[in-house]
Amino acid sequence: MAFSWETLQVNNSDMPVYMTVPEGSGPFPAVVVIQAADGVDEFIQTIADRLADQGYAAVAPSLYHRTTETIEKAKGKTRRQLLDDPEIVSDVNATVAYLQQHPSVNSERIGITGFCMGGRVVWLAAATNPHFKAVVPYYGGFMMDCWGEGTQSPFDLSDGINCPMLYHFGEIDRNPTPEDMARFDDRLTRLGKPHQFHVYPDADHRFADFTFTNYQKAADELAWSRTLEFFAEHLKG
């Protein structure tokens, strides 16, 4: 496995991305890994590395590239609160375009996964970019909210999803709640979108993040095995 930090241009802004590529000549299927609120940290980089170990090129874009501590202090908002849905879509689209032209990537076999706020971004990305073949959100909340200049929430855009979805939920998570999950399920079912939802007993938000206090090893390992099986079916099969 080889890893590197690359820089993509998105609307005149430099976006760092963490890239991992398996050993061998490829081309490989690829997975976009979307950060949680802490950014492209040790956890997200480890997820990308694990995917590379399984034969996927993986890339994690840093969605915070437009802000600085100075901007956050001036506006009185966190960097997460400054995220903007149209800009997020541009970031994901630029990441996909980068993968599509990468010599080690099979441009027809690209999936996406994300954690926490990244789970929300994954839904939004799948609804606005037609190139994904599989989507795996982990406990994404705020699905009915618009961020920044966005005028439609990820939930509102659900009809645009055109690939299978595997969604992981913690049983005692408060965002998304069990009621949210039921609403997501009803919406996707009514729209005829193929999806699988899994709930992990006694698991809270961020149960898959080994750097966080809510980490639950058994739930994480089961969810990860299901994620790998899902990606293998839709990106390698």
pLDDT, tens digit, 9 for 90 and up, residues 148-203: 999 999 999 999 999 999 999 999 999 999 999 999 999 999 999 999 999 999 99
How far is Cα 47 from Cα 67, in angstroms, rounded to an integer? Answer: 24
Question: Domains in the chain: how many in total?
Answer: 1
Place of tokens 């202090």: 73
> Residue 54 belongs to a domain with what CATH number?
3.40.50.1820
Q: Would you say the pTM of this structure is higher than 0.95? A: yes
Q: Do 163 and 234 contact (CB within 8 A), yes or no?
A: yes
Tokens coding 188: 């996707």
User: What CA–CA distance (Å, rounded) separates 188 from 159?
Assistant: 8
**Partners of residue 135 on adjacent β-strands:** 112, 165
The DSSP secondary-structure symbol of 39 reads B
- Which of 40, 38, 119 lies closest to 80, judged by CA? 38
Domain that holds residue 21: 2-236
Q: How many helices (H) and strands (E) does the chain have?
A: 6, 8
pLDDT at residue 72, rounded to an integer: 94
| C-alpha–C-alpha distance, residues 166 and 231, integer Å | 9
Average pLDDT estimate for 51-76: 96
Q: Facing residues of 74 across strands?
A: none
Query: Given this model, what pLDDT does residue 237 score?
Result: 81
31 half-sphere exposure, CB direction, 13 A CA radius? 33
